[in-house]
Amino acid sequence: MKSFFANLISPFAPADGPPPNTLIAFLRWTLAGAGRVVVITALFGLALGISEAAAAWLIGHVVDLAVAQGRQAFFTQNAGLLIAACAFFVLLRPVLVALTSALNALAVGPNATTLAMSRLNRHTMGQSLRFFENDFAGRIAQKQMQTVSAIGSILSEVVNSLAYALSVLLGALLVLIQVSPRLGLILVIWFAVYVVYVRYFLPKVRKRASARAGARAAVSGQLVDVLSNMATVRLFATGAREEKSAEQAMANYRDRLHDFGAVSVLFRSGLSILAGILPVALIGCSLWFWQSGDASPGDIAIAGLLSTRLGQMSGWISFVAMGIFANIGEIENGMKTLSPPHDLPDRPNAQPPQAVAGQIAFENVDFAYGGTDGAGVQGLNLSINAGEKIGLVGRSGAGKSTALSLLLRLYDVEGGRITLDGVDIRDLTQDGLRGAIAMVRQDTSMFNRSAFDNISYGVADATMQVVEAAARRAQAHDFIVGLTDPSGRTGYDAHLGERGVRLSGGQRQRIAIARAFLKDAPVLMLDEATSALDSETEAAVQIALEDLMLGRTVVAVAHRLSTLSHMDRIIVMEQGHIVESGTHAQLLTDSAGTYTSFWQRQSGGFITTDD
């Protein structure tokens, strides 16, 4: 049974296009493909609600028969009815409850929330690097989880609680009209007042829930930002200041909670009064009608059962409705963060590169990070032959690392174009382009996974033998075999901690170099790849890198010029332009050149600024 219900909805089906930025369309986008099962679940909820009214009618009918026929005749004349009533309560209603529960708990609940989560995560993963640079990682994750949770809650309440409640109300109205049209009219008037009251309050609930969601996400984002940079907090002794900032964000969240709580108190207090009015009105009127001979004892029983049930349910449904509108506020708040379309998509007919040789060309490339302050590159023209090894040097902000980011298409050029083997990289799929390039950065990121997983990241079928071989070539094997994590895992199974905190800077860089060895891409990019290594380790890794460079196109950025002296060509950049180009020996022949001044300055030390 579990497998049958669990497989009614495909939880990882892709969505069509980006998420819309309006509520109903957004919900349709997240839940597309689950509609048939959701409707079936709602129909079962309706059937279950109607059974409540049917149960009240059945009890009232039995009471009337018992009063009219007396003790002796009642059981002998109504045996079939009593058996049917027992079957209704013991078999039919439990089956309805079981099927409704199974559809909610096994089919709709787990699958629909997973479907929404997978689609939102897939869309977020496709955003450009700029999207993540402009927000907190913790805030984005919080928005994903709170939006998915809100969608799941709304869906559950709509197909279960609201469908059930509406059917109970409809069934009760039909039964009361059959008993006495005047009792039905009382219920209609009461429900109209109930709807007006709810419509007045729920927009206030929705607005304040959205503000509450935004404040909660702000707290989460700030806490994650501080916790992920705890070493910096400790080094600068700013713990008290960070606590104060966190408390200010928490205070704002507390204020939003109070705002939401205040409207909730008013809302529920009024509803409790309405809930008390209904049984007084229905039971009182049915007693009045009975006194005048217009109602039977069974009618009084029906009115009592239904009014008490509806009165209790009105408070429950109001709480459900308040939860739905609160969740709508959460979704609307999350939509602002999660629904923006991708600003760096693949072109419609983009194809992965085929048999990459590694010829690269920057053709009059302009890029200033969307600003006009001169950062980035302007009119950059650079041609790199397949298999050629290029070094990029220059002061901080000269555009070296920007050029690498543009080649990886982490950003799109604002003018000109970049080609790989003569093809504009915008005509290539981004995954295909980056699959042809191995990259070792100065700031190496690690996952809190095993050393094996971190080295083999991007090579799904890597074996232990090839991973170990790559680690040996990167001078990483010896320290990896000595690793131990808090869970007792050792060696290549040991987890490296969040962002690799259990490793030194040099160890993290050697893991990254091992990744590049294993990837074996035709283009190799190095951004200060040996900057965190001591002199002895750097010399060993430099030998390994020279081996890795053989037969590949290499673009390397370094402030330590000695690491580039063996390159085929060195490009000197200033303010986004190329000012000098040549081999190490050729550039040193110009005694007044920029490269010569860099070389002379480093004769007594190293340039310590970073690009």
Tens-place pLDDT, residues 106-146: 888 888 889 999 999 999 888 887 788 777 777 788 788 88
Least confident of 245-249, 380-384, 538-542: 538-542
Give the per-residue pLDDT at 96.
84
**Residue at 214: amino acid letter:** G
Where in the chain are the domains? 11-337, 388-396+431-602
Q: Is pLDDT at 189 greater than 80 in this prediction?
A: yes
Continuous H helices in 126-238 = 129-133, 137-156, 163-179, 181-227, 230-235
Q: Is pLDDT at 507 greater than 80 in this prediction?
A: yes
Q: Is pLDDT at 279 greater than 80 in this prediction?
A: no
Give the per-residue pLDDT at 371.
67
| Best CATH choice for the domain 388-396+431-602 from the list 3.40.630.30, 3.90.1300.10, 3.40.50.300, 3.30.465.10 | 3.40.50.300
- How would you list the strands of the sheet with 553-557, edge to edge? 437-440, 523-527, 553-557, 389-394, 569-574, 577-582
Confidence grade of residue 531 (pLDDT, cut at 50, 70, 90):
low
User: pTM for the full model?
Assistant: 0.69
More confident site: 108 or 541: 108
Confidence grade of residue 88 (pLDDT, cut at 50, 70, 90):
confident
Q: Is pLDDT at 20 greater than 80 in this prediction?
A: yes
Three-state DSSP state, 393: strand
More confident site: 77 or 192: 192
Rounded CA separation 562/535 (Å): 12
Confidence grade of residue 604 (pLDDT, cut at 50, 70, 90):
low
Q: Is pLDDT at 102 greater than 80 in this prediction?
A: yes
Q: Is pLDDT at 374 greater than 80 in this prediction?
A: no
**Residue at 330: amino acid letter:** E
Confidence grade of residue 372 (pLDDT, cut at 50, 70, 90):
low
Q: Which residues contact 282 (CB under 8 A, 6 or more apart)?
A: 176, 183, 186, 187, 303, 304, 306, 307
Confidence grade of residue 25 (pLDDT, cut at 50, 70, 90):
very high
Give the per-residue pLDDT at 542.
76
Give the per-residue pLDDT at 119.
92
- At residue 420, φ and ψ (nearest 5 deg) are -120, 115
Give the per-residue pLDDT at 363.
95
Q: Is pLDDT at 605 greater than 50 in this prediction?
A: no
Residue 162: HSE in the Cβ half-sphere, 13 Å Cα cutoff: 17
Give the per-residue pLDDT at 608.
37
Best-predicted range by mean pLDDT (208-217, 327-336, 345-354): 345-354
Q: Give percent above pLDDT 70 in the chain.
A: 90
Average pLDDT, rounded, for the chain: 83
Instruction: Please list, residue by residue across 151-181, b when 16 or more beta carbons sit within 10 angstroms of its beta carbon and e when fewer do.
Output: bbbbbbbbbbbbbbbbbbbebbbebbeebbe
Residues 584, 588, 591: CA angle, nearest 5 degrees: 165
427-482 tens-digit pLDDT: 999 999 999 999 888 777 788 889 999 999 878 888 999 999 999 988 889 999 99
Rounded CA separation 20/339 (Å): 6
| Best CATH choice for the domain 11-337 from the list 2.40.37.10, 1.20.1560.10, 3.40.50.300, 1.10.3720.10 | 1.20.1560.10
Rounded CA separation 403/412 (Å): 11
Q: Quickly count: other Cβ atoms within 10 Å of residue 265's Cβ.
A: 10
Least confident of 127-136, 381-390, 547-556: 127-136
Q: Is pLDDT at 151 greater than 60 in this prediction?
A: yes
Confidence grade of residue 547 (pLDDT, cut at 50, 70, 90):
confident
Give the per-residue pLDDT at 118.
92
User: What mean pLDDT do residues 35-57 have?
Assistant: 79
- At residue 518, φ and ψ (nearest 5 deg) are -70, -35
Best-predicted range by mean pLDDT (114-118, 165-169, 228-232, 279-283): 114-118
Give the per-residue pLDDT at 550.
84
Q: Which residues contact 133 (CB under 8 A, 6 or more apart)?
A: none
Q: Is pLDDT at 346 greater than 50 in this prediction?
A: yes
Confidence grade of residue 39 (pLDDT, cut at 50, 70, 90):
confident
Give the per-residue pLDDT at 609.
36
Q: Is pLDDT at 592 greater than 50 in this prediction?
A: yes
Strand ranges in 288-357 using DSSP code E only, listed in sequence order: none
Give the per-residue pLDDT at 556.
92
Q: Is pLDDT at 294 greater than 80 in this prediction?
A: no
Closest C-alpha among 47, 32, 151, 165 to residue 95: 47
Q: Is pLDDT at 176 greater than 80 in this prediction?
A: no
H, E, C per residue of 79-139: HHHHHHHHHHHHHHHHHHHHHHHHHHHHHHHHHHHHHHHHHHHHHHHCCCHHHHHCCCHHH
Give the per-residue pLDDT at 164.
67
Rounded CA separation 399/415 (Å): 15
Q: Is pLDDT at 611 greater than 50 in this prediction?
A: no
Written as six digits, the tokens of 341 are 């379309």
Q: Is pLDDT at 607 greater than 60 in this prediction?
A: no
**Residue at 494: amino acid letter:** A
More confident site: 529 or 337: 337
Give the per-residue pLDDT at 84.
83
Least confident of 266-270, 312-316, 339-343: 312-316
Q: Give percent above pLDDT 90 in the chain.
A: 23
Confidence grade of residue 362 (pLDDT, cut at 50, 70, 90):
very high
Confidence grade of residue 422 (pLDDT, cut at 50, 70, 90):
very high
Rounded CA separation 182/522 (Å): 85
Residues 564, 570, 572: CA angle, nearest 5 degrees: 115
